[in-house]
Structure 1
Amino acid sequence: MATLKEKRTCGQRCEDFRRFVWNPDNGTLMGRTPEKWVYISLYYAAFYAVMTSLFSLAIWVLMYTLDPYAPDYQDRLQSPGVMVWPDSYGEEEVEITYNSSDRASWSKMSTCLHNFLEPYNASTLQEDYDHNCTKGKYFIQNHFTPHTHTKKSCSFPLSLLGPCSGVQDPTFGYNCTMPCVIIKMNRIINFLPSLNSSQEIHVNCTVLDGKDNVKKIKYFPEMGILDKSYFPYYGNLAQSGYQNPLVAVRLDLVGEQWAKLQCRVVADQISYQNVHDPYEGKVIFTIKNLK
């Protein structure tokens, strides 16, 4: 019969541990002589120094080759997305629903538009604005502004949005049957919407459903034009005060006072038929007055 393993006392276990930490018979510290501890410490110090140096070199090379003003690859952004405000985005589609007879309901819409347009307020000081932009021409800037290393931006005054600016009518028409929606095209660095010098970049809205309920569609600025002087966009680092050009669309609702519309940006470099991205080049939304 195998003999039972002798049970060791607590004192014996402590003695074993003490001899492991320092064994005077072999002159070892935790299983190694002081000389071996020096060798292994030097090895790991050299190993981690080399690894740290290689990692630092890789990061330096990466940062040295990156352009802080523009991404190296933009192949996933063939055309800009288009958004609409008030931004009542549901799970599948945009539904702007309000009640012109209910102050709380239409105030929610007008507040959303006021908040969206706040950065466009004329009292907001932006030092990098260039107020002498040439309308109808791309604002090409091949060089940075000295000292600040930035580029100029064209200001977008709210007056261009006419009655949809929120100045003359703080309700944006949501307290009646003439609501305003604002269309914005998302930014893509160095993107030119049109290569045709004679083509105007503009927003065009069509009624997909409920045509009898829309008496008139009016655009601000006139003809829904997105002036070329706001393009190209050079990135937030170069143009921290850049303002997207906007187009306000005022609808005259009649009858049942609801409609489904598609608003798209018309330009030869902007596609809008991508079935995988419903917001590329266009936005589809439903507006309804519950009255």
Structure 2
Amino acid sequence: MGMEKEARKPSGKDFKTLEFKRPVKLTKKQAFKLFIWNPETNAFCGRTAGSWGRIGLFYMIFYGVLAALVAICFCAFLQTIDVRRPRWQLEKSLIGTNPGLGFRPLPPAVNVESTLIWYKGTDKGNYQYWVSALEDFLRKYRRPGQNPGSGANIHTCDYNHPPGPGQVCSVDAREFAPCTFENHYGYHKSSPCIFLKLNKIFGWRPEYYNDSSALPEKMPNKLKTHIRRIEDPRMRNNIWVSCEGENPADQENIGPINLYPRMGFPGYYYPFENSEGYLSPLVAVHFERPATGVLINVECKAWAKNIIHNRNERQGSVHFELLID
């Protein structure tokens, strides 16, 4: 009789034999301990030793490959650059070919946009900041060649003995008298010294005003007279520097000005090629008897045929104020 056997359905008696256990309710402390170490599964922080080994091996390989790729990229990148020579120079660079002037000492960092040098000549605690700022700036000039290997290529140069390839010219800090640390740079006598430097542009060569008959009309007469008195044409190969009061009232209050060691930056310091031990030449501007209690606007200019002056853009010049109480 081919009748299929009907599947037996569980009866109520069978359900009575089933037991349902509620999960044990753990406190936060018990749950944390169980997470740290589960004795039933031998799991530490939710993973067994084998699981931790597999995931650790994965991340070790992943970050190892990632670090290797970064190192390869850096090595390939460093092969394309020269730490001494910029890739983009002169007209192709963002700096361009028109150097500007900088001055020291600078006002405190809290007044980063200020160009005011203000102090009391009779108060040592007041003018000491400016003296210390100049001392910090000139320390490397008093101890040139401190970096290993930088002293071997520093030479004493002049107009007849320019530096050779890879060599740099020394800057003698003793030439700035009376603008010396021993003399407090003149600040204690209300006759301060300001140091000027030309901004460095790699490969830039100055075109000199060395023809006394072809000097620009706007060049100060004092500087023209100085250039015409120089008999040796080679000693005219300078980037000349002049400092004056910016306005007629400033010119009356500024008093006599002297520049040390000369009225410009000698041409044998250029071009700047980022050679080891190079220091920018300096010009010390000594204000002998500036008026006190009056704000004096000062403008200093660098003079070369390929230096353009723009007062609004501060190109080829620098502006600062003096106020001595």
Per the TM superposition, whether the score is higher than 0.5 is: yes
In the alignment, which residue of structure 2 is the partner of 1:145? none
Q: Counterparts of 1:63 and 1:40 in 2: how far apart (Å)?
A: 34
Which structure 2 residues correspond to residues 129-140 of structure 1 after superposition, within 5 A? 129-135=153-159, 139=163
Q: CA deviation at 1:173?
A: 1.9
Q: Counterparts of 1:116 and 1:248 in 2: how far apart (Å)?
A: 13
Q: Counterparts of 2:122 and 2:57 in 1: how far apart (Å)?
A: 81
Q: Counterparts of 1:163 and 1:104 in 2: how far apart (Å)?
A: 21
In the alignment, which residue of structure 2 is the partner of 1:82? 101
**Higher helix fraction: Structure 1 or Structure 2?**
2
**Does the CA contact (< 8 Å) of 2:121 and 2:324 recur in 1?**
yes
> Structure 1 residues 270, 19: closer, same or farther in 2, change over 3 A?
farther
> Structure 1 residues 8, 65: closer, same or farther in 2, change over 3 A?
same
Q: CA deviation at 1:100?
A: 1.8
In the alignment, which residue of structure 1 is the partner of 2:216? none
Q: CA deviation at 1:136?
A: 7.0
In the alignment, which residue of structure 2 is the partner of 1:273? 310
In the alignment, which residue of structure 1 is the partner of 2:253? 213
Q: Counterparts of 1:113 and 1:47 in 2: how far apart (Å)?
A: 53
Which structure 2 residues correspond to residues 1-291 of structure 1 after superposition, within 5 A? 51-74=66-89, 75-78=93-96, 79-88=98-107, 90-121=111-142, 127-135=151-159, 139=163, 141=165, 151-167=166-182, 170-188=183-201, 190-196=202-208, 198=210, 199-209=237-247, 210-222=250-262, 224-235=263-274, 238-239=275-276, 241-256=277-292, 258-273=295-310, 275=312, 278=314, 280-290=315-325
Q: CA deviation at 1:282?
A: 2.4
In the alignment, which residue of structure 1 is the partner of 2:226? none
**Does the CA contact (< 8 Å) of 2:194 and 2:286 recur in 1?**
yes
**Does the CA contact (< 8 Å) of 1:97 and 1:289 recur in 2?**
yes
Secondary structure of 1:174 counterpart: helix
Query: What residue ranges of structure 1 are gaps of 5+ in the alignment?
Result: 1-5, 23-29, 142-150
Q: Counterparts of 1:213 and 1:249 in 2: how far apart (Å)?
A: 16
**Does the CA contact (< 8 Å) of 1:122 and 1:158 recur in 2?**
no
Query: What residue ranges of structure 2 are gaps of 5+ in the alignment?
Result: 1-21, 211-236
Q: CA deviation at 1:92?
A: 3.3
Task: Return the structure number with greater relative CO, CA threshold 8 A, min gap 6.
Answer: 1
Secondary structure of 2:169 counterpart: coil
Q: Counterparts of 1:124 and 1:63 in 2: how far apart (Å)?
A: 27
Secondary structure of 2:256 counterpart: strand
Cα deviation code 1:117-169 (max 9, x no counterpart): 2222269766234334242786462xxxxxxxxx32211112322311345xx
Secondary structure of 1:173 counterpart: helix
Q: Counterparts of 2:124 and 2:59 in 1: how far apart (Å)?
A: 72
Secondary structure of 1:106 counterpart: helix
Identity %: 22
Cα deviation code 1:214-235 (max 9, x no counterpart): 221211122x211122223332
Between structure 1 and structure 2, the one with the greater Rg is 2
